[in-house]
């Protein structure tokens, strides 16, 4: 029985040593792939993010469709860009007007009608 235990212990030690050597060889073989795999992981993280925010994807595709150079979805070339500029100008004016409004209801004077 002792002989069998010694043989099993030696076999176990041999197998553990072989596994350690194989792990080292595998790490050496995978070293050049490390940066590529990291890039793939970042790409997958970006896909998961966009998948969890579908409005972001829709907005990006819409913006690309409107701003494609040389192709106009509306009449005349450059029309989408002018629409975007007009919309942005309107938005900025609305922001300024909103900032001019009194912030506190106590400051608002009531006018009798």
pLDDT of 59-79, one tens digit each? Answer: 777 776 666 655 555 545 566
Contacts of residue 50, defined as CB under 8 A and 6 or more positions apart, other chains included, come to: 56, 57
Q: What is the mean pLDDT of residues 79-85?
A: 70
Cβ atoms 72, 79 nearer than 8 A: yes
Domain ranges of the chain: 40-66+76-100
**Is 113's pLDDT higher than 50?**
no
Mean pLDDT, residues 101-110 taken together: 58
């Amino acid at each position: 029985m002792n002989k069998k235990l010694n043989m099993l212990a030696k076999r176990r030690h041999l197998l553990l040593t072989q596994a350690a050597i194989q792990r080292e060889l595998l790490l050496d073989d995978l070293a050049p792939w490390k940066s590529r795999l990291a890039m793939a992981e970042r790409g997958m993280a970006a896909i998961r993010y966009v998948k969890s925010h579908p409005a972001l994807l829709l907005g990006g595709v819409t913006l690309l469709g409107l701003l494609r150079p040389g192709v106009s979805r509306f009449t005349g070339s450059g029309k989408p860009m002018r629409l975007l500029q007009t919309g942005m100008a309107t938005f900025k004016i609305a922001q300024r007007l909103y900032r001019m409004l009194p912030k506190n209801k106590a400051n608002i004077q009531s006018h009798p009608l």
